[in-house]
């Protein structure tokens, strides 16, 4: 393990190739880095799927965006995607960064190789068995114990002299873009966000549970409900969505103060969640976005590590988990009770 002993660095490149929640978990460390070195230059190399999370973040000077092969448009060739990424790496290499930070919570050989292509003075990241840091690199051992993902990433930045307390996740809302133009959100009273879309079967709660929850909550106190879902038909083999599920839920709740909020873009999801005071969702990217926006959360957990590593960081929350780890085994009355405890 190496320690940071040089003069304050001026140019940082942060490499991150993971999902939305993972990327949000790096923002506390980036914020603390900016606090430690206010005049430094910070660039983040992120993919086009999660990069919008960083737009308008005042701690970051630039987001360099590349396209993952699995995220390319139908009109793009795979060859073009790889060539475009190579051009961006060459561009970053010319910028002569002092430090490239491999912002992952474990040893990642692919990201280390990419960092080396950028030719910085030093690389910061976790190492285990497969990576041999060079003399100027800061190779750290992964900390033992049950830490949150935010803490794993923040620990990397300690090697650069960042000693601030760990702040909340950072997410800036771009109010210059109005998002979903067709829906006027009532800013008066209590608004509860209901996020129904998830990728994995174990994360999926039934329409009947969601409908029962909305009715149960509305019987106990008055609130407005925003129903968030990913657009697309369930039988679309390339990009399945929850159009049918959302419409069915809306029909079941036609006598309740519930509105549909289709999230065609990540920005629209951010705008919609920002209008809520409370959010009910499964573990995933939407949960981390809500936490970064400072919302109180009831989380339906589908994996054991949510309790220790992936819980909503920096906000009040209730986490519910069944013995089977399938969220559909959690009753809507349990969720309603958890929400009332938060209220």
How far apart CA 275 and CA 173 sit, in angstroms, is: 11
Find the mean pLDDT for residues 3-11. Answer: 64
12 bridge partner residues:
42, 99
Q: Is 42 exposed, middle or buried (0-12, 13-18, 19+ CB in 10 A)?
A: buried
> Is 224 in a helix, a strand, or coil?
strand
User: Tens digit of pLDDT for each residue in 13-50?
Assistant: 999 888 899 999 999 999 999 999 999 999 999 998 88
52-111 pLDDT tens trace: 899 999 999 999 999 876 667 777 788 888 899 999 999 999 999 999 999 999 999 999
Secondary structure class of 17 (helix, strand, coil): coil
| Cα distances (angstroms) measured from residue 75 to each of 51, 71, 72, 78, 342 | 21, 12, 8, 10, 47
What is the rounded distance in angstroms from the CA atom of residue 316 to the CA atom of residue 341?
11
Q: How far apart are the first and last CA of the chain?
A: 46
Confidence of residue 287 (pLDDT cuts 50, 70, 90): very high
- Give the per-residue pLDDT at 184: 58
Domains and CATH numbers, the chain: 11-158 (3.40.50.2000), 191-342 (3.40.50.2000)
What angle (nearest 5°) sits at the alpha carbon of residue 48, between those of residues 44 and 52? 70
Question: Tokens for 109?
Answer: 């050989």
Query: What pLDDT is recorded for position 179?
Result: 52
Q: Tell me: the pLDDT tens digits for 302-326?
A: 988 888 999 999 999 999 999 999 9
Q: What is the pLDDT of residues 150-205, one digit of tens each?
A: 999 999 999 899 988 999 999 998 776 655 545 555 556 799 999 999 878 888 99
DSSP 149: H
Q: What is the mean pLDDT of residues 116-122?
A: 96
Three-state SS letters, 176-212: CCCCCCCCCCCCCCCEEEEECCCCCHHHCCCHHHHHH
What pLDDT does residue 18 have?
Answer: 83
Give residues with Cβ within 8 angstroms of 157, minimum separation 6: 29, 32, 33, 101, 124
Band of pLDDT at residue 12, cut at 50, 70 and 90: very high
CA angle 287, 173, 154 (to 5 degrees): 60
Token pair in block for residue 131: 């990576």
pLDDT of residue 181: 47
338 falls in which pLDDT band (50, 70, 90)?
Answer: very high
Q: Is the pLDDT of residue 258 over 90?
A: yes
CB 157 within 8 A of CB 101: yes
Alpha helices in the chain (DSSP H): 20-24, 27-36, 78-94, 109-117, 149-158, 207-220, 243-252, 266-274, 285-292, 332-342
Residue 155 tokens read as 């620990």
Predicted local distance difference test score (pLDDT) of residue 6? 52
User: Is the distance from CB of 140 to CB of 156 less than 8 angstroms?
Assistant: yes
Model pLDDT, residue 201: 87
């Amino acid at each position: 393990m190496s320690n940071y002993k040089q003069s304050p660095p001026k140019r940082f490149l942060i490499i991150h190739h993971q999902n939305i929640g993972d990327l949000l978990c790096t923002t506390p460390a980036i914020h603390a880095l900016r606090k430690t070195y206010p005049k430094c230059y910070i660039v983040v190399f992120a993919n086009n799927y999660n990069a919008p999370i960083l737009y308008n973040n005042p701690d970051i000077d630039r987001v360099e965006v590349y396209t993952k092969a699995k995220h390319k448009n139908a009109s793009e060739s795979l060859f073009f995607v790889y060539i475009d990424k190579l051009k961006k790496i060459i561009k970053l290499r010319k910028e002569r960064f002092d430090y490239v930070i491999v912002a992952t919570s474990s040893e990642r050989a692919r990201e280390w190789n990419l960092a080396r292509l950028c030719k910085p003075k030093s690389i910061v990241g976790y190492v285990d068995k497969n990576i041999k840091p060079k003399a100027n690199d800061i190779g750290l051992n992964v900390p033992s114990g049950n830490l949150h993902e935010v803490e794993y990433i923040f620990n990397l930045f300690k090697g650069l002299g960042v000693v601030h307390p760990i702040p909340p996740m950072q997410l800036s809302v771009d109010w210059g873009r109005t998002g979903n133009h067709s829906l006027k959100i009532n800013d008066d009273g209590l608004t509860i966000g209901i996020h129904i879309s998830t990728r994995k079967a174990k994360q999926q709660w039934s329409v009947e549970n969601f409908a029962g929850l909305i009715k149960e909550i509305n019987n106990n106190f008055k609130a407005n409900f925003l129903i968030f879902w990913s657009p697309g038909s369930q039988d679309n083999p390339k990009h399945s969505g929850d159009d049918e599920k959302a419409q069915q839920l809306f029909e079941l709740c036609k006598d309740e103060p519930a509105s549909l909020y289709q999230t065609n873009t990540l920005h629209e999801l951010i705008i919609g969640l920002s209008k809520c005071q409370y959010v009910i969702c499964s573990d995933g990217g939407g949960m981390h976005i809500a936490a970064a926006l400072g919302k109180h959360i009831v989380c339906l957990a589908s994996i054991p590590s949510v309790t220790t590593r992936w819980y909503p960081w920096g906000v009040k929350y209730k986490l519910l988990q069944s013995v089977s780890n399938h969220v559909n085994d959690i009753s809507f009355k349990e969720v309603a009770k958890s929400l009332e405890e938060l209220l």
